[in-house]
């Protein structure tokens, strides 16, 4: 089945620094990937849609200059949290769409997530 | 949003059956997913319903009623490892078919 690899799993950084998170589709090509953010006991909130070879589409309220997304190839998307602050501490999860069994459902396969703590 | 609503928390006993409900906006509706998420981990796909009816997959079944804007996830023979958050996610036309997630139902299974 479809596998999405996400790194790093955990990252702790100082306030003001930048952190890059990588998301790779291992056995399929993903022209579109999605970046979500999740606070404790809350739902997944879509941050942006990453499109291979073009600019990402950001959801309302998400600062594109703060959360830089690059989708340079069909198997890799990166999210860079720039000038991170404590309020950016969260669980960031990437996902890619891959069909399952021909159902046409475009089921999302998620990476393992990256827990960011900004001190 | 698309008004996805599900209970925040449920508890059940090991070996029992539990039903987790999800309601959603029917206008433009195009399909509903259920995902399981253990604490600190990424969600894993459980089921996808686009037509009315019940789909069974081992101990887990998912039901959809398009006219009522209602779905449920049925978990049978509960095991301790089923303690997790269960996320209902819907897709609507006009939303680029990107799923919108509910807040999740935290299921606690106790002995």
Distance of residue B15 Cα from the nearest chain A Cα, in angstroms = 25
B73, B47 Cβ separation under 8 angstroms: yes
Distance from CA of B44 to the nearest CA of A (A): 7
Q: Is residue B89 within 8 Å of residue B4, measured between CB atoms?
A: yes
* Contact list, A108 vs chain B (CB under 8 Å): 33, 45, 99
How far separated are the first and last CA of chain A, in Å rounded? 37
Is there a contact between A105 and B48 if contact means CB atoms under 8 Å apart? yes
Assign A99 a pLDDT band (cuts: 50, 70, 90). Answer: low
Q: What is the pLDDT along chain B (111 residues), one digit of tens a residue?
A: 468 999 999 999 999 999 999 999 888 888 999 999 998 888 999 999 999 999 999 999 999 999 999 999 999 999 999 999 999 999 888 766 788 899 999 999 999
Task: Kindly report, residue by residue over A25-53, the tens digit of the pLDDT.
Answer: 998 888 889 999 998 878 889 999 988 88
Q: Which neighbouring-strand residues pair with A46?
A: A36
DSSP-derived pairing of the beta strands A90-98 and B9-13: unpaired
Q: Where are the beta strands (DSSP E) in A1-119?
A: 4-7, 10-13, 19-25, 32-38, 45-51, 57-58, 67-73, 76-81, 90-98, 107-110, 114-118
pLDDT at B9: 95
Cα–Cα distance for residue pair A71/A55, rounded to 1 Å: 8
Cβ pair A107:B33 closer than 8 A: yes
- Would you say A111 and A49 are in contact if contact means Cβ atoms under 8 Å apart? no
- The verdict on a CB contact (< 8 Å) between A107 and B43 is no
Q: Model confidence over B25-49: pLDDT tens digits?
A: 888 888 999 999 998 888 999 999 9
Q: Which of A43, A91, A93 sits opposite B104 (nearest CB)?
A: A43
Give yes or no for B111 touching A (CB within 8 A). Answer: no
* A84, B2, B28, B43, B86 from A88: Cα distances, Å: 6, 26, 34, 21, 25
- Using the beta-carbon criterion (under 8 Å), do B41 and A109 form an inter-chain contact? no
Whether the per-residue pLDDT at A73 is higher than 90: the answer is: no
């Amino acid at each position: 089945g479809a596998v999405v690899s996400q790194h790093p799993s955990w990252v702790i950084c100082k306030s003001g620094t930048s952190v890059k998170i990588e998301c790779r589709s291992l056995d399929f090509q993903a022209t579109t990937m999605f970046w979500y953010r999740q606070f404790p006991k809350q739902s997944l909130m879509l941050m942006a849609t990453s499109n291979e070879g073009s600019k990402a589409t950001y959801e309302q309220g998400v600062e594109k200059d703060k959360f830089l997304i690059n989708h340079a190839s069909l198997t890799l998307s990166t999210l860079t949290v720039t000038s991170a602050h404590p309020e950016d501490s969260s669980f960031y999860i990437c996902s890619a769409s891959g069909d399952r069994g021909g159902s046409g459902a475009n089921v999302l396969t998620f990476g393992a997530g990256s827990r960011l703590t900004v001190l | 949003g698309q008004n996805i609503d599900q209970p925040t928390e449920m508890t059940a006993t090991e070996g029992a059956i539990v039903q987790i409900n999800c309601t959603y906006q029917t206008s433009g509706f195009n399909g509903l997913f259920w995902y399981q998420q253990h604490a600190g981990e990424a969600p894993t796909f459980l089921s996808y319903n686009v037509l009315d009816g019940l789909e069974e997959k081992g101990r887990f079944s998912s039901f959809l009623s398009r006219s009522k804007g209602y779905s449920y996830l049925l978990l049978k023979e509960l095991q301790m490892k089923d303690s997790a958050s269960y996320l209902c996610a819907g897709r609507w036309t006009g939303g680029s078919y990107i799923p919108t997630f509910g807040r999740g139902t935290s299921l606690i299974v106790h002995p």
